[in-house]
């Protein structure tokens, strides 16, 4: 019973890792936006991503 | 187990006699084999081999003081052989002044002789006499029997505190013996020393459910309490199975890792060096040239290397598909600070940052970049590098963790089971 369960579990782990590798999954977070206008290439300042209000580190020790 | 050993097989004789003390009817189920009989009414211990049933001992006990869970006269099948419960005794040891009692049942088959069952807190053992002597190690910490090693678990003085029915030995209420148990779950070998006589028996753990099934007893058996000395661990076999599978899957994971690293494109698709003048308050955002991401849907690794010195730069990135308008937005900071104080030199941060954008379909892309930093800190030089289909070791590390975690959990539970077992031992165990 435990052999079968762990076999299934191990295969699932390997399949997940393989799929993650093939599809290029990442632990980093990005925001996806659809239909960005083509005018961004001509006027880059017209586009503001959600990261524009990020609080910057300005410290040091 | 005090016993003179199994009697020779023969034809059973069941006979009704009368107690010479109280006159109550005695049903003798192992006549010709029993050595003593205990009257259930007046608790006289009678000599079964004497036609006049001489009274050997009389002890005080309330009727039904300790009713057997298997009523005497009940027939059942143990390992394919029919037995009848003919005798019952309660035995007690004292540890640190606390009494611990267990029950022993005498089973009889006219062709196979006597066999025994013991019960303690819902844990059962099927017991039979050893046919040869075990090899006890010097010091007595272990013994070997039929090639199997048994570890000493407990030694105590056991007293017989209650008896009922028929016994193939001269049973007495109040008699004591030094009992020692050696375990190799699911088996236990016990020695009983009375005077100069030592008898050896072997028990094998049985569940209450099996006993109930064997004797067709009504209801449910008492639930076992705690971990018994020779109770087999339900997990020890699983531990070996799981760790062998973990080894197999780790080897497969390593093979997958090697295959991924050898088959990944890991291709640089874009690189651009940029200057960011922080002294100028103007729109700093820009877009890059278009570059192609080839192959199947996969990741894109973006590295920012900035020449920051006690300074920082923050970059709002948007990786935009020129054809579909699908954008991946993310922000990255590169900061590097260093100095010297009373504790010595110190540094924080790095001049390089790497981020992986997941699952980006193939197509023509460009980057929109918007740098930020403190005003009037001069020019910051930085380089943006993009690579396509880069192997990620993090998922393999997570895979290793995912495989090890359940195996570690099962191992811990198994160790805990053994800890509970040996917590009841006089000798601590291993």
Rounded to two decimals, the ipTM of the complex is: 0.84
Nearest CA in chain A to B302: A28
So what's the pLDDT on residue B377?
A: 86
E-state strands within B21-167: 25-28, 36-38, 44-47, 55-58, 75-78, 81-95, 98-109, 113-120, 123-129, 135-136, 142-145, 148-167
Minimum distance, in Å, between the CA of residue A36 and any CA atom of chain B: 4
- Band (A52; pLDDT cuts 50, 70, 90): very low
The answer to whether A51 contacts B331, with C-beta atoms less than 8 Å apart, is yes
So what's the pLDDT on residue A58?
A: 53
Minimum distance, in Å, between the CA of residue A33 and any CA atom of chain B: 5
Mean pLDDT for the stretch of residues B20-33: 85
What single DSSP character describes residue B309? Answer: S
CA-to-CA separations, B418 to B114, B206, B244, B386, in angstroms, rounded = 32, 18, 21, 55
Q: Which of B327, B358, B374 sits opposite A33 (nearest CB)?
A: B327
Mean pLDDT for the stretch of residues B97-110: 94
Does B2 have pLDDT greater than 80?
no
So what's the pLDDT on residue A50?
A: 60
Q: Which of A10, A25, A34 sits opposite B249 (nearest CB)?
A: A10
To the nearest 10 degrees (0 to 180), the angle between helices A2-23 and B393-422 is 160
What percent of chain B is modeled with pLDDT above 90?
A: 75
- Band (B144; pLDDT cuts 50, 70, 90): very high
Residues of chain B contacting A15 with CB distance shorter than 8 Å = none
Does A55 have pLDDT greater than 60?
no
Does B63 have pLDDT greater than 80?
no
CA-to-CA separations, B319 to A2, A30, B165, B290, in angstroms, rounded = 46, 10, 89, 10
Mean pLDDT for the stretch of residues B115-132: 95
The answer to whether A61 contacts B297, with C-beta atoms less than 8 Å apart, is no
C-alpha count within 13 angstroms, C-beta hemisphere, residue B248: 13
So what's the pLDDT on residue B62?
A: 66
In tens, the pLDDT along B183-192 reads 999 999 999 9
**Distance, CA of A7 to CA of B241 (rounded, Å):** 10
For chain B, how long is the longest CA-to-CA vector?
123
In tens, the pLDDT along B185-233 reads 999 999 999 988 999 999 999 999 999 999 999 999 999 999 999 999 9
Classify residue A36 as exposed, middle or buried by CB count within 10 Å of its CB (0-12, 13-18, 19+): buried
Residues of chain A contacting B241 with CB distance shorter than 8 Å = 2-3, 6
- Band (B48; pLDDT cuts 50, 70, 90): confident
B409 Cβ neighbours under 8 A, 6+ residues apart: none
In tens, the pLDDT along B124-137 reads 999 999 989 999 99
The answer to whether A51 contacts B316, with C-beta atoms less than 8 Å apart, is yes
Mean pLDDT for the stretch of residues B273-291: 93
- Band (B24; pLDDT cuts 50, 70, 90): confident
Does B116 have pLDDT greater than 60?
yes
Contact B402, B127 (CB under 8 A): no
The answer to whether B337 contacts A38, with C-beta atoms less than 8 Å apart, is no
So what's the pLDDT on residue B3?
A: 42
Under 8 Å CB pairs connecting chains A and B tally to 172
Residues of chain B contacting A59 with CB distance shorter than 8 Å = 337, 348
Lowest mean pLDDT among B2-6, B100-104, B260-264: B2-6
Mean pLDDT for the stretch of residues B237-262: 95
Higher pLDDT, B139 or B144: B144
So what's the pLDDT on residue B10?
A: 47
**Distance, CA of B297 to CA of A22 (rounded, Å):** 8
- Band (B25; pLDDT cuts 50, 70, 90): confident
Nearest CA in chain A to B289: A41
pTM score: 0.73
In tens, the pLDDT along B356-378 reads 999 999 999 999 999 999 988 89
In tens, the pLDDT along A11-35 reads 999 999 999 999 999 988 889 999 8
Mean pLDDT for the stretch of residues B65-93: 93
Supply angle C-alpha B261, B262, B268, rounded to 5. 75
- Most B CBs within 10 Å, among A9, A24, A61, to test the B interface: A24
So what's the pLDDT on residue B6?
A: 44
Q: Which of A22, A31, A56 sits opposite B333 (nearest CB)?
A: A56
Higher pLDDT, B382 or A58: B382
What single DSSP character describes residue B140? Answer: S
């Amino acid at each position: 019973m435990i052999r079968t369960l762990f076999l299934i579990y191990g295969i699932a782990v390997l399949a997940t890792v393989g799929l993650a590798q093939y599809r290029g999954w990442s632990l980093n977070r990005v925001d996806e936006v659809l239909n960005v206008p083509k005018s961004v290439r001509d006027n880059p300042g017209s586009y503001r991503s959600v990261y524009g209000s990020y609080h910057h580190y300005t410290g040091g020790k | 187990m005090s016993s003179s050993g199994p009697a020779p097989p023969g034809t059973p004789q069941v006979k009704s006699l009368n107690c010479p003390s109280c006159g109550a009817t005695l049903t003798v189920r192992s006549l010709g084999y029993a050595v003593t009989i205990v009257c259930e009414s007046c608790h006289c211990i009678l000599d079964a081999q004497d036609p006049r049933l001489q009274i050997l001992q009389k002890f005080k006990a309330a009727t039904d003081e300790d009713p057997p869970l298997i009523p005497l006269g009940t027939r059942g099948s143990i390992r394919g052989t029919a037995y009848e419960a003919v005798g019952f005794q309660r035995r007690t040891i004292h540890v640190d002044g606390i009494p611990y009692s267990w029950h022993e049942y005498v089973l009889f088959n006219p062709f196979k002789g006597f066999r025994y069952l013991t019960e303690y807190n819902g844990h059962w053992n099927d017991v039979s006499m050893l046919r040869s002597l075990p090899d006890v190690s010097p010091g007595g910490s272990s013994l070997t029997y039929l090639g199997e090693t048994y570890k000493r678990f407990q030694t105590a003085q056991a007293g017989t505190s209650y008896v009922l029915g028929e016994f193939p030995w001269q049973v007495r209420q109040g008699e004591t013996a030094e009992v020692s148990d050696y375990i190799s779950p699911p088996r236990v070998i016990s020695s009983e020393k009375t005077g100069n006589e030592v008898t050896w028996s072997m028990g094998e753990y049985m569940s209450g459910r099996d006993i109930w099934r064997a004797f067709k007893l009504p209801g449910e058996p008492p639930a076992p309490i705690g971990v018994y000395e020779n109770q087999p661990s339900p997990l020890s076999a699983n531990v070996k199975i799981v760790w062998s599978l973990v080894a197999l899957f780790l080897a497969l994971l390593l093979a997958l890792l090697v295959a991924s690293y050898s088959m990944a494109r890991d291709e640089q698709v874009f690189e651009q060096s940029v200057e960011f003048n922080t002294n100028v308050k103007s729109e700093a955002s820009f877009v890059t040239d278009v570059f192609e991401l080839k192959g199947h849907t996969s990741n894109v690794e973006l590295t920012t290397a900035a020449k920051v010195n006690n300074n920082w730069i923050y970059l709002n990135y948007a990786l935009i598909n020129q054809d579909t308008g699908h954008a991946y937005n993310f922000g990255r900071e590169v900061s590097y600070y260093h100095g010297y104080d009373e504790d010595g030199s110190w540094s924080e941060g790095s001049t390089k940052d790497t981020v992986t954008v997941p699952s980006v379909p193939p197509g023509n892309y460009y980057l929109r970049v918007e740098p930020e930093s403190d005003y009037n800190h001069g020019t910051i030089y930085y380089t943006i590098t993009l690579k396509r289909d880069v192997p990620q070791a993090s998922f393999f590390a997570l895979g290793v963790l995912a495989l090890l975690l359940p195996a570690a959990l099962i191992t811990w539970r198994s160790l805990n089971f053994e800890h509970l077992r040996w917590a009841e031992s006089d000798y601590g165990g291993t």
